[in-house]
Structure 1
Amino acid sequence: MAQTTRMTVGQALIEFLANQWTVDGDRAERTIPATFGIFGHGNVAGIGQALKQLHHERPGRMPYRQARNEQAMVHQAVGYARMRRRRATYAAAASVGPGAANMLTGAALATANRLPALLLPSDTFATRVADPVLQQLEHPHDLGIQVTDAFRPVSRFFDRVQRPEQLFSIALAAMRVLTDPAETGAVTIALPEDVQAEALDVPVEFLQRREWRIRRPRPDRGAIALAAEAIRSAKRPVIVAGGGVLYSGAEDELRALVEATGIPVGISQAGGGVLTWDHPQNLGGVGATGTLAANRRAAEADVVIGIGTRYSDFTTASRTAFQNPNVTFVNINVASFDAYKHGTQLPVVADAREALVELAEALAGHAVDAAYAETVAREKAEWDETVDAAFAPTGLALPGQPEIIGAVQRASSPEDVVVQAAGSLPGDLHKLWRVRDPLGYHVEYAFSCMGYEIAGGMGVKRGAEADGSDRDVIVMVGDGSYLMLSTELVTAVAERIKIIVVLIQNHGYASIGHLSETVGSERFGTKYRAYDPQARGFDGEDVLPVDLAANARSYGIETIEIAPGPGAIDDLGAAIARAKASDASTVIHINSDPLIYAPDGAGWWDVPVAEESTLDSTAAARAEYLEQRRAQRQLLGDRTEGRA
Structure 2
Amino acid sequence: MKLTGSQIVMEVLLEQGVDTVFGYPGGTALNVYDSLYDYSKKITHYITAHEQGAAHAADGYARSTGKTGVVFSTSGPGATNLVTGIATAYMDSVPLIAITCNVSDNMIGRDSFQEVSITGVTLPITKHNYFVNRIDDLADALRNAFRIANEGRKGPVLVDITKDVTAMKYDFEPRTPLPLSPNPKFNEKDIEEIADIINISKRPVVYFGGGVVSSGAQDELLELLNKADIPATYTMMAAGVIDYENPKNLGLIGMHGTVAANKTVDEADLVIALGTRFSDRVALNPNRFAHKAAIIQVDIDASEINKNVNINYSVIGDVREVLKALLPHVKATKHTEWIDQVTAYQKTVRVDMPGAKLRPKEIIDTICDNTDKETIYCTDAGQHQMWAAQYVKHHNMHRFITSGGLGTMGFGYGAAIGAQIANPDKRVIHITGDGSFHMNMNEACTAVTYNLPIITVIFDNRVLGMVYQWQTVFYNKHYSQTILNRKTDYAKVAEGFGLKGYDCSTLEEFEAAFKEALTINGPVWINCHIDKEERVLPMIPNGGTIDNMIVD
TM-score with structure 1 setting the length = 0.80
Are the counterparts in 1 of residues 351 and 361 from structure 2 also a CA contact under 8 Å? yes
Are the counterparts in 2 of residues 268 and 285 from structure 1 also a CA contact under 8 Å? yes
C-alpha spacing 1:176/1:423, structure 2 compared with 1 (3 Å): same
Q: Which runs of 5+ in 2 are unaligned?
A: none
User: Identity, % of aligned pairs?
Assistant: 24
Deviations 1:413-471 (A, max 9, x none): 22212211301122223333221233332222111100001111111222323xxxx22
Deviations 1:561-614 (A, max 9, x none): 21x2xxx112212222222222222111111112122442x53334xxxxxxxx
C-alpha spacing 1:235/1:68, structure 2 compared with 1 (3 Å): same
1:101 aligns with 2:101: no
Letter in 2 for 1:571: E
User: Max radius of gyration: which structure?
Assistant: 1
Q: Which range is displaced more, 551-560 or 482-491?
A: 551-560
C-alpha spacing 1:91/1:129, structure 2 compared with 1 (3 Å): closer
State the SS of the aligned residue for 2:397: coil
Deviations 1:93-135 (A, max 9, x none): 1111111110011111111110011111221221128944322
Deviations 1:494-544 (A, max 9, x none): 112221100121112011111223331634334344xxxxxxxxxxxxx33
In 2, Cα distance between equivalents of 1:528 and 1:599: 21
2:422 aligned residue (463, 469, 488)? 463
Deviation for aligned residue 1:71? 0.9
Deviations 1:303-342 (A, max 9, x none): 1111111221112234377242x42211112222234542
1:572 aligns with 2:510: yes
Are the counterparts in 1 of residues 21 and 58 from structure 2 also a CA contact under 8 Å? no
In 1, Cα distance between equivalents of 2:355 and 2:258: 25
Letter in 2 for 1:73: A
1:35 aligns with 2:21: yes
In 1, Cα distance between equivalents of 2:399 and 2:382: 20
Deviation for aligned residue 1:242? 0.8
1:7 aligns with 2:10: no
State the SS of the aligned residue for 2:423: helix
In 1, Cα distance between equivalents of 2:478 and 2:493: 27
Number of matched residues? 547
Aligned to 2:327: 360
In 1, Cα distance between equivalents of 2:542 and 2:367: 27
1:426 aligned residue (371, 375, 385)? 385
In 2, Cα distance between equivalents of 1:287 and 1:198: 53
In 2, Cα distance between equivalents of 1:555 and 1:426: 25
Are the counterparts in 2 of residues 421 and 445 from structure 1 also a CA contact under 8 Å? no
Aligned to 1:622: none
In 1, Cα distance between equivalents of 2:509 and 2:545: 44
Aligned to 2:233: 266
Aligned to 2:39: 54
Are the counterparts in 2 of residues 509 and 527 from structure 1 also a CA contact under 8 Å? yes
C-alpha spacing 1:71/1:401, structure 2 compared with 1 (3 Å): same
Alignment of 1:71-150 (within 5 A): 71-85=52-66, 88-128=67-107, 131-136=110-115, 146-150=117-121
Aligned to 2:293: 327
Deviations 1:255-293 (A, max 9, x none): 121112121101100010111111111000011110001
2:144 aligned residue (156, 170, 173)? 173
Letter in 1 for 2:418: G
Are the counterparts in 2 of residues 218 and 355 from structure 1 also a CA contact under 8 Å? no
State the SS of the aligned residue for 2:518: helix
Letter in 2 for 1:475: H
Alignment of 1:491-502 (within 5 A): 491-502=446-457
Aligned to 2:258: 291
Deviation for aligned residue 1:395? 5.9
Aligned to 1:537: none
Aligned to 1:69: 50
Deviation for aligned residue 1:549? 2.6
Letter in 1 for 2:331: A
2:440 aligned residue (485, 509, 513)? 485
Alignment of 1:143-542 (within 5 A): 146-182=117-153, 184-202=154-172, 204=173, 207-210=174-177, 212=179, 219-319=186-286, 322-324=289-291, 326-341=292-307, 342-368=309-335, 370-379=336-345, 382-383=346-347, 386=348, 390=351, 396-397=356-357, 399-465=358-424, 470-520=425-475, 522-529=477-484
Are the counterparts in 2 of residues 218 and 354 from structure 1 also a CA contact under 8 Å? no
Aligned to 2:541: 604
Are the counterparts in 1 of residues 277 and 304 from structure 2 also a CA contact under 8 Å? yes
C-alpha spacing 1:147/1:415, structure 2 compared with 1 (3 Å): closer
State the SS of the aligned residue for 1:471: coil
State the SS of the aligned residue for 1:43: helix
Q: Which range is displaced more, 515-524 or 281-290?
A: 515-524
Letter in 2 for 1:71: Q
In 2, Cα distance between equivalents of 1:216 and 1:581: 46
Report the aligned-residue RMSD: 2.4
Are the counterparts in 2 of residues 288 and 318 from structure 1 also a CA contact under 8 Å? no
Deviation for aligned residue 1:43? 0.8
Are the counterparts in 2 of residues 179 and 212 from structure 1 also a CA contact under 8 Å? no
1:545 aligns with 2:487: yes
Are the counterparts in 2 of residues 241 and 274 from structure 1 also a CA contact under 8 Å? no
Aligned to 1:143: none
In 2, Cα distance between equivalents of 1:37 and 1:471: 23
Deviation for aligned residue 1:546? 2.3
In 1, Cα distance between equivalents of 2:177 and 2:373: 37
C-alpha spacing 1:462/1:211, structure 2 compared with 1 (3 Å): farther
